[in-house]
Amino acid sequence: MSAKDMSPNRFELLYGMLLDAIPSSVLLVDEKLHIVSVNRNFLVKSQRGEAMTVGRPLAEVFPTIIMENTDIERRIREVFRTGTPVKGQRMTYRAPGVPIRIYYYSILPIPTNQVMLLMEDVTEQVRLSEEVRRVERHLASVVESASDIVLSTDTEGRILTWNSAAEKLSGLSTQEVRGQYFFQFCGSNQQQTLRKVFLLMKSGNESHTTEFPLVTSSGDSILVSWVFSPMKDDYGQTVGAVVVGRDLAERRKLENQLRQSQKLAALGVMAGGIAHEIRNPLAVCYSAAEFLLMDNISSEFRNECSRKIQAGIQKASAIIENLLRFARPSPDTEMVQVDLNTVIKDTLDLITNQARVQQIRIQLELEQRRPVLVLGVSGLLQQVFMNIFLNGINAMPDGGVLSITEEIFEAEVAVRISDTGMGIEESDLDKIFDPFHTTSPIGKGTGLGLSICYSIAQQHLGSIHVQSSPGKGATLTVRLPLL
């Protein structure tokens, strides 16, 4: 740089350029409270010319209302007197003809016996933060007004917020639950399920639906249907969870009625097979009894007749017991450890008769080495398989093969049920789980079976999928989390 470039003049120029470039208003004021200099930003914001501003008293440049409200003259004098700066005061300024602006200002003493008045325009920030507050208030009131339980947790499941519906249903205040683990307020046995759900949410985006009881402050259990959704930050990291719960008391009552009537409908379908299977032992008993009434029969034959009668009665009675077990409403819905293989075999026992009268061969491939343990209500799981088996059987009026294969994965079991029947039209595929959707003739099906299966599977944190093409049979896959 040349010597000329380094002259004091050059610094002044640089200083002026810098002042004009910064997005804040800068004013220098002397002891008489006259304006010594201003930067461009101030002139633009206040819509004043430099000549009308520099050398003028502060009171002439700022509107009276600001002078009075901010008491700025007293503050400046104070800074002159004490040499202590004033920082971060708020000022609302409205130049004639422009919308209101909001400033934060500071008054800084400078060695030239002047003070620097720094004004930063925060109108936009204030507007934004007010907007954020308004949205927050709105969201809070949405959550608070909801009649469903809405709560949020951290990634470990510790409760962060708890809305008024949650307070009302549980009888527990936000203060009582904040920071506590959510599972502490759920029915027993849920800890493991919940841990699994929270683990899944950490890595995945999906919501998880399940049902289990909420324990109230008085110790009662309320059955609640829960939806767990991961809460993500801007980078896609799970930072917590949103849990929405709905009191199921009323819905459960209706569902139970529906399941029960659907079960009875399923019994209707099985009636033919049952009749066949019970009348065979009855016929044997009937004849054997008639033999016993005859004279001159050998004692050996007499014994044989008695044995046939006993065996026949036992056979008929076992069929009836199976039926009763299935037809009876499930007394409770508490989830316990269940061996899925037992459920499947018990269910097959019920439909074997129907399969036989329709010339349907049943192929069963289950995990042999160990029990397949899931958390569930065995009566409900049986209903799922019963419905799917009967659907398969109904799809094969002229006989075929119903195959049931089980595949064990790390965390879940998949049971595939395939028939060799008529298959499902593609247009029907996404409707088959809808309530009242049926392709059966009137009186043959209620259209509720699979929708009930679906809701039962969901309740068990599982799923049901269907694969089919017309004429080539259908495969339904039931997936359930393993214990």
Partner 1 sequence: MVDDEPDMCWVMECILRSKGYEVVTVLSGEEACYQLANRDFFFVFMDAKLPDMDGLEVVRRAHAARPGIVRVVLVSGYHYHDDPVIRQAINENLICGFLAKPFTHSDLLNALPSS
User: Of the candidates 11, 15, 286, 409, which one interacts with partner 1 according to CB under 8 A?
Assistant: 286
Residue 481 DSSP SS3: strand
Least gap, CB of 293 to partner 1 (angstroms): 10
Nearer to partner 1 (CB atom), residue 127 or residue 276: 276
Residue 198 DSSP SS3: helix
Q: How far is CA 357 from the centre of its chain?
A: 45
Nearer to partner 1 (CB atom), residue 141 or residue 359: 359
Nearer to partner 1 (CB atom), residue 184 or residue 314: 314
Which tokens hold the place of 330? 């499930």
Strands (E), 12-100: 24-29, 35-38, 86-93
Phi, psi dihedral angles at 259 (to 5 degrees): -60, -40
Give yes or no for residue 308 binding partner 1 (CB under 8 A): yes
Residue pair 137/182 in contact by the 8 Å Cβ criterion: no
Piece of the chain touching partner 1 by CB under 8 A; list 118-126, 164-172, 247-255, 306-314:
306-314
Give me the amino acid identity at 240: G
Piece of the chain touching partner 1 by CB under 8 A; list 41-49, 57-65, 174-182, 278-286:
278-286
Contacts with 82 (C-beta within 8 Å, 6 or more apart), sequence order: none
Least gap, CB of 386 to partner 1 (angstroms): 21
Q: Kindly state the greatest CA–CA separation across the chain.
A: 147
Nearer to partner 1 (CB atom), residue 298 or residue 368: 298
The position carrying tokens 């450890």 is 337
Give yes or no for residue 291 binding partner 1 (CB under 8 A): yes
Nearer to partner 1 (CB atom), residue 9 or residue 317: 317
Rounded distance between C-alpha atoms, residue 205 and residue 477, angstroms: 23
Q: Taking the chain, what is the end-to-end CA distance rounded to the nearest angstrom?
A: 79
User: Of the candidates 150, 270, 284, 456, which one interacts with partner 1 according to CB under 8 A?
Assistant: 284
Rounded distance between C-alpha atoms, residue 100 and residue 443, angstroms: 73
x/- letters, 225..264, toward partner 1 (CB under 8 A): ----------------------------------------
Give yes or no for residue 287 binding partner 1 (CB under 8 A): yes
Give me the amino acid identity at 462: G
User: Of the candidates 17, 44, 254, 275, which one interacts with partner 1 according to CB under 8 A?
Assistant: 275
Q: Give the Cβ contact number of residue 386 at 10 Å.
A: 25
Piece of the chain touching partner 1 by CB under 8 A; list 31-39, 83-91, 114-122, 308-316:
308-316
User: Of the candidates 28, 197, 248, 285, which one interacts with partner 1 according to CB under 8 A?
Assistant: 285
Give yes or no for residue 206 binding partner 1 (CB under 8 A): no
User: Of the candidates 22, 132, 283, 411, which one interacts with partner 1 according to CB under 8 A?
Assistant: 283
Least gap, CB of 207 to partner 1 (angstroms): 47
Residue pair 392/417 in contact by the 8 Å Cβ criterion: yes
Nearer to partner 1 (CB atom), residue 190 or residue 353: 353
Count of residues that bind partner 1 according to CB under 8 A: 23
Strand partners, 37: 28
Residue 114 DSSP SS3: strand
Nearer to partner 1 (CB atom), residue 299 or residue 368: 299
**Closest CA relative to residue 301, chosen from 280, 286, 293:** 293
Contacts with 230 (C-beta within 8 Å, 6 or more apart), sequence order: 201, 202, 204, 205, 206, 207, 238, 240, 241
User: Of the candidates 127, 202, 279, 444, which one interacts with partner 1 according to CB under 8 A?
Assistant: 279
Which residues, 310 to 369, sit near partner 1 by CB under 8 A?
311-312, 356-357, 359
User: Of the candidates 91, 231, 282, 483, which one interacts with partner 1 according to CB under 8 A?
Assistant: 282
**Interacting residues with partner 1 (CB under 8 A):** 272, 275-288, 290-291, 308, 311-312, 356-357, 359
